[in-house]
Copies of this chain bind each other. A is one copy, B any other.
Amino acid sequence: MSEGRAIPEATVARLAVYLRVLGSLSDGGLSTISSEALANAAGVNSAKLRKDLSYLGSFGTRGVGYVVEVLRERISTCLGVSEHRSVVLVGVGNLGHALAGYGGFRSRGFRIAGLFDADRRRIGEEIAGLCVQAMAELAEVVTQESVSIGVIATPAEAAQEVCDRLVAAGVTSILNFAPAVLVVPDNVDVRKVDLAVELQILSFHEQRKAAGLQVVL
């Protein structure tokens, strides 16, 4: 399978994980790694890992493994984070604050190009070296800094409106932390992270475990 092949969504998510794991490994000075070793470190099956990598072309060496640096570069390029990508963050409440200060974005290929909030009292506040700006400035920043990704960390009520403004400004990918369903044009991608949903899924499994025990007792 060569470059042009469609890459499954599930594979993309794992590629990002491999990249992260490779980051810690290459700090350890390891120059080459086998699919087995990397798969263990990433918590997946080694066959799955090889199949995932095969979507990027075949550049491993049989009998040896993959050259860590080559692998990192290949995955970075594929994910489009070989150079820093700019994002804007809207909503600097509780969660937005934390996201703005999260070092992992920078180290994993992203640069926060602007912070925005609808609350006038928050404008001008400095967080992690950036000033919170008014929503009116959004479009300009997006254009100027060629931002393609927007992060929404507002309350649910505001999410759709913020989303519309991001899209209007030219953003084509959105990461939504607000517990709301967003409606967007076809060419815009949305990923949602709902913290309570994650907990509820765990809660479901707890429920099942408990039910299983009932039978035993």
A204 to chain B, nearest CB (A): 5
Residues of B within 8 A of A98 (CB): 94-95, 97-98
Cβ contact within 8 Å between B105 and A196: yes
State which residues 89-113 of A face B: CB under 8 Å.
94-95, 97-99, 101-102, 104-105, 107-110
Residues of B within 8 A of A205 (CB): 173, 189
Q: Across the two chains, which residue of chain B brings its CB closest to A95?
A: B98
- Indicate if A61 sits at the interface (CB-CB under 8 A): no
Number of identical protomers:
2
A175 touches which one: B174, B191, B199 (CB < 8 A)?
B199
- Indicate if A200 sits at the interface (CB-CB under 8 A): yes
State which residues 167-206 of A face B: CB under 8 Å.
172-175, 179, 181-183, 187, 189, 191, 193-206
User: Can you name 21 A-B pairs with beta carbons within 8 Å?
Assistant: A15-B200, A16-B194, A16-B200, A17-B181, A20-B179, A20-B197, A43-B181, A78-B204, A79-B207, A85-B199, A85-B203, A87-B199, A94-B98, A108-B196, A109-B196, A110-B196, A172-B209, A173-B205, A174-B202, A191-B202, A193-B195
- A residues neighboring B (CB under 8 Å): 7, 9, 12-13, 15-17, 19-21, 41-43, 78-81, 85, 87, 94-95, 97-99, 101-102, 104-105, 107-110, 148-149, 151, 172-175, 179, 181-183, 187, 189, 191, 193-207, 209-210
